[in-house]
Amino acid sequence: MVESNRGHLLPIYVLADESGSMMNHIDDLNDGLRSLHQALLGEPMAAAKVRLSVLGFSDDVIERVHLVDLRSANEFPLLRTRGMTSYAAAFEDLITRIPVDIAGLKAEGYQVHRPAVFFLTDGVPNMGEDWYDARRRLTDRTLTLGAPNIIACGISDADAEIISQVATQPEFGFVANEGVDVGPAIAKFCTALTKSVIASGRSLTSASPQLVVDKPENFTLAIDVI
Amino acid sequence: MNDARTQPEGGEPAEPVQEPALSVEPEPVTDDLARLWRPLKVGEPLPLFEPKPPSGLSYRPDTVCDGWSTKELHLRLASVRGYQHRADGSPREDDVAAAWDRRTGTVVFAVADGVSAAEQPHIGSQLACRSAVETMLAQVREGDGFVADWDHLLKTVRWQLVEQTRRILRHSEAGAEQTARLLATTLVAGTATPAEGEVRIQLVSIGDSGAWQIKRENFFQVVGGKMAGADGLVSCAVDPLPFISGVIRPTSFPLEQGTVLLVGTDGFGDPLGDGAGEVATLFRARLRQPVPPLGLAHLLDFSRETFDDDRTLVVLWLRTETPGGRP
């Protein structure tokens, strides 16, 4: 019989835009994720409490990494640019993915905290696409088991108002400051992601476990840009 | 190795412990103390590392433990700094205190867990424990062994926290919000009162620290602890002091023969979980009888990955023919 209390885990999903417009910057993002991996190897206690998935989205979603324990992970598979920018496809994927993942972790005997999604895009969603309903169902705690917190970061052509609508709290939506180059912005996003993962992992078994979100340098709260 | 307040009221115990200790013969000297005191492994252990000194201006020991016995009860307590705090150089945010009223034989105790998001959680937990124990002791003396007004007790602790906040911030108008940001803490406070042929336990709990009984080889939760949300995810909601929602009524029950009472913070409660896992098995086996205080601290310092919070525990056993353990 599997023990019901092997540990506490925070599932984290990096949901990254792989659309064609990311072509010149996807290497920066892959480099950033490698840095995150290296940083977590130096924080084994925080890393033990996190399971990381990396998902690339464009017209659909491709799972690059599935709920990996970063202490034992090898090289990350690379994100690759392709297709358009369908937010709806991304959110629909999470609606089916997250409940299955949570059930799997619980079946392994873990106590699971509310998942966190770090959403990164460089553009606006496909013209005419209704992604709002998928986003609403994904974050409705009465509809989706493990409805996640979404931290949304927009770079380049991303729209501050849309980023603000993707994030589940006003303080979880960020856009890169005007004039900031995309490459450095992605690097700052990955640095903030790493800090957030480590701080959330450290916090997980404290008296006040919380999702810690570190604002990327040279980003502004999307709500302040609208 | 003790900053907890555990001095019996009025000096020497009225009826000193006469029995031999459980560990009758001292162990032969070993050359490998490090090996002897290695943390107990439960499942996959945490990585081994050398702890960093805690930050802060005042001395804050990594570990405290204590123990003594009254005519009716054996008490042991321990509070250990969590592995995460040892790794990042933070002080132990949990605290514990216990005392005894000589006339009635009542034992009073408190455990508290400073909320990490607060700026000085270790001061909050220490102040909450000490003021709770002092206030309970005062009421016990006046109330024939019982705390008559738990509401007053909690309000006194809250007042102490607010006053301390005002002193630290040098802001005479500081209120609950500032206190929460500086000193927020959970608290379980309780009494064990010998009366009419039994020992009656009374407990109040604010936040997610809790109390359990080991009865017939099973763990039973008495108060507090973390509740899973409706979707089965771990709930992060903590409602600590200085906030008190409504009138808190004590949980009251007799401590039955063969039953062990444990009062602790979530650093113990989380790995204990539903009481059916390996941590529960370890504590059930090791706490059937009173253990030496150092042994309780060592037990509480077990190593299991993802469980790296501060841990604090007060354990009470009814005194029977079985001799009580002393170090």
State how far residue A53 is from chain B, nearest Cα, in angstroms.
18
B30: amino acid identity, one letter = T
Of the candidates B47, B266, B307, the beta carbon closest to that of A44 is on B47
Put simply, the answer to whether B309 touches A207 (Cβ < 8 Å) is yes
DSSP state of A224: H
Alpha-carbon gap, residue A96 to B217, rounded angstroms: 41
In tens, the pLDDT along A181-223 reads 777 888 788 788 877 877 777 777 665 666 778 888 888 888 8
Which residue blocks in chain B are alpha helix, DSSP H?
Answer: 33-36, 83-88, 121-142, 150-169, 176-183, 266-272, 278-286, 293-300
- In this structure, what CATH number is given to the domain that contains residue B75? 3.60.40.10
DSSP state of B118: S
Which chain A residues touch B303 with a CB distance below 8 Å? none
Mutate to test the interface with A, among B307, B310, B311, B312 (most CBs of A within 10 A): B307
Residue B4 lies in a domain: no
Q: Assess whether pLDDT exceeds 80 at residue A4.
A: no
Alpha-carbon gap, residue A112 to A139, rounded angstroms: 17
Q: Assess whether pLDDT exceeds 70 at residue B235.
A: no
Alpha-carbon gap, residue A191 to A184, rounded angstroms: 10
Q: How confident is the model at residue B1 (pLDDT cuts 50, 70, 90)?
A: very low
User: Closest chain A residue to B266 measured between Cα atoms?
Assistant: A207
State how far residue A113 is from chain B, nearest Cα, in angstroms.
5
DSSP state of A191: H
State how far residue B59 is from chain A, nearest Cα, in angstroms.
22
User: Closest chain A residue to B86 measured between Cα atoms?
Assistant: A45
State how far residue A216 is from chain B, nearest Cα, in angstroms.
21
Encode B109-148: b = buried (16+ Cβ within 10 Å), e = exposed. bbbbbbbbbbebbbbbbbbbbbbbbbbbbebbeebebbbe
Domain total of chain B: 1
Mutate to test the interface with A, among B308, B311, B312 (most CBs of A within 10 A): B308
State how far residue A57 is from chain B, nearest Cα, in angstroms.
27
Average pLDDT over residues B306-317: 96
- pLDDT the model gives residue A200: 78
| CATH 3.40.50.410 applies to domain A7-225 | yes
**How do A50-57 and A7-17 pair as beta strands?**
parallel
Average pLDDT over residues B29-37: 82
Average pLDDT over residues B307-316: 96
User: Closest chain B residue to A4 measured between Cα atoms?
Assistant: B277
Question: Which stretches does DSSP call E strand in chain B?
Answer: 63-69, 73-80, 94-100, 107-113, 187-195, 198-206, 210-215, 218-224, 251-254, 260-264, 311-318
On the 0-12 / 13-18 / 19+ scale of CB atoms within 10 A, B58 is exposed
State how far residue B198 is from chain A, nearest Cα, in angstroms.
34
Q: Assess whether pLDDT exceeds 80 at residue B281.
A: yes
User: Closest chain B residue to A103 measured between Cα atoms?
Assistant: B232
Whether B111 contacts B264, CB under 8 Å:
yes
- The percent of residues in chain A predicted with pLDDT above 90, rounded, is 46
Residue B189 lies in a domain: yes
ipTM of the complex: 0.82
- pLDDT the model gives residue B238: 67
User: Closest chain A residue to B115 measured between Cα atoms?
Assistant: A207
- pLDDT the model gives residue B303: 97
State how far residue B26 is from chain A, nearest Cα, in angstroms.
36
Q: Scan for tokens 């996190």, then name that residue.
A: A50
| CB proximity A72 to B under 8 Å | no
In tens, the pLDDT along B282-304 reads 999 999 999 999 999 999 999 99
- pLDDT the model gives residue A42: 84
Residue B260 lies in a domain: yes
| CB proximity A210 to B under 8 Å | yes
Put simply, the answer to whether A206 touches B240 (Cβ < 8 Å) is no
A70 Cβ contact list (under 8 Å, min separation 6): A36, A37, A40, A41, A47, A50, A52
In tens, the pLDDT along A9-23 reads 989 999 999 999 888
In tens, the pLDDT along A66-97 reads 999 988 887 778 899 999 999 999 999 999 99
Put simply, the answer to whether B115 touches A209 (Cβ < 8 Å) is no
Put simply, the answer to whether B116 touches A48 (Cβ < 8 Å) is no
User: Closest chain B residue to A49 measured between Cα atoms?
Assistant: B306
Of A40-49, A102-111, B201-210, the one with minimum mean pLDDT is: A40-49
Q: Which has more pLDDT, A151 or B56?
A: A151
Whether A160 contacts A177, CB under 8 Å:
no
Residue B9 lies in a domain: no
Put simply, the answer to whether A207 touches B304 (Cβ < 8 Å) is no
- pLDDT the model gives residue B30: 73
- pLDDT the model gives residue A123: 79
Which chain B residues touch A210 with a CB distance below 8 Å? 117, 236
Residue B308 lies in a domain: yes
DSSP reduced 3-state for B193: strand
Residues in B lying within 8 Å of A, measured between beta carbons: 43, 46-47, 82-84, 87-88, 93, 113-117, 121, 184, 186, 207-208, 230-234, 236, 238, 240, 265-267, 270-274, 276-279, 304-309
Of the candidates B236, B240, B274, the beta carbon closest to that of A209 is on B236
In tens, the pLDDT along B7-32 reads 444 444 445 445 555 555 677 777 78
Q: Which has more pLDDT, A187 or B271?
A: B271
Which chain B residues touch A113 with a CB distance below 8 Å? 233-234, 236
Which chain A residues touch B47 with a CB distance below 8 Å? 44-45
In tens, the pLDDT along B62-86 reads 999 999 999 999 999 999 999 999 9
DSSP state of B85: H
- pLDDT the model gives residue B23: 52
Residue B19 lies in a domain: no
Residue B59 lies in a domain: yes
State how far residue B234 is from chain A, nearest Cα, in angstroms.
5
Domains of chain A, residue spans? 7-225
- pLDDT the model gives residue A207: 57
Q: How confident is the model at residue B321 (pLDDT cuts 50, 70, 90)?
A: very low
Q: Assess whether pLDDT exceeds 90 at residue B193.
A: yes
Q: Which domain, by its residues, includes B268?
A: 33-318
Q: How confident is the model at residue B327 (pLDDT cuts 50, 70, 90)?
A: very low
In tens, the pLDDT along A26-39 reads 888 898 888 888 88
DSSP state of A43: -
Q: Assess whether pLDDT exceeds 80 at residue B197.
A: yes
- Nearest Cα neighbor of B231 from A6, A141, A100 is A141
Q: Assess whether pLDDT exceeds 90 at residue B53.
A: yes
Mutate to test the interface with B, among A45, A112, A204 (most CBs of B within 10 A): A45
Please give the C-alpha separations between residue B68 and each of A177, A189, B130, B322, B325, in angstroms, as whole numbers: 63, 55, 18, 15, 9
- pLDDT the model gives residue B22: 54
Residue B272 lies in a domain: yes
